[in-house]
Amino acid sequence: MLIIGPPGSGKGTQSERISERLGVAAISTGDIFRANVKGGTPLGLEAKKYIDNGDFVPDSVTNKMVRDRLLQDDATSGFLLDGYPRTTCQVDELDDILASGDQVLSVVLQLTADDEELVSRLLHRAKETGRSDDNEAVIRHRLDLYHGQTEAVVAKYAERGILAQVDGLGAIDDVTDRVMRSLEQPVKASAVSGR
């Protein structure tokens, strides 16, 4: 399954919880990039300039990284992918990766929240964790990219009938409960008939 949402919507927090409950690996492209930046790897050095500006890392780099990660043993029996795909080109790439591994997407979970709430959450997080891309100008740019590019990704999955939308506002536990309840709905059945 995928989890998609604007920056600050709580994707990382909810992914950890969902993956534990479902017993599948949680894979976050943002976390992989940040680990590489921290480790000073060639991938990290390449990605850092984009991340710090709030831009997408080029598809050529991101696609390869995701393909390699999804081929690892812990992902072959299911995974929860957070942060990918963010562009329609990445949707095509993921379709290809899944087809080559005989895998299908069960559900795409979208966490929703209002922009001003997101900016305020991220500015608050900036004081605590100091992520290099959590300053107001970069946050607003990341939000613009989400609206300009990633919402088209969400629309594609809605057309396929596999989209589940959950309100990301409120207490963390409440959001998790909403997510788990929405996953109990027969999203997959409608996906098959919706194709």
Does residue 84 bind ligand ADP (CB under 6 A)?
yes
Does residue 109 bind ligand ADP (CB under 6 A)?
no
Q: Cα(146)–Cα(134) distance, rounded to whole angstroms?
A: 15
Least CB distance from residue 67 to ligand ADP, whole Å?
A: 12
String of contacts with ligand ADP for each residue 136-175, x by CB under 6 A: ------x---------------------------------
Q: Cα(191)–Cα(106) distance, rounded to whole angstroms?
A: 8
Q: Which tokens is 37 given?
A: 């930046």
89 closest CA partner among 112, 58, 131, 129: 58
Contact 164, 108 (CB under 8 A): yes
At 138 the three-state DSSP class reads helix
**Contact residue for ligand ADP among 13, 24, 44, 50 (CB under 6 A):** 50
Please choose, out of 52-60, 98-106, 152-160, 176-184, the segment that lies near ligand ADP by the rule CB under 6 A.
Answer: 52-60
Q: Which residues form the interface with ligand ADP (CB under 6 A)?
A: 7, 29-30, 33, 50-51, 54-57, 62, 83-84, 86, 90, 133, 142
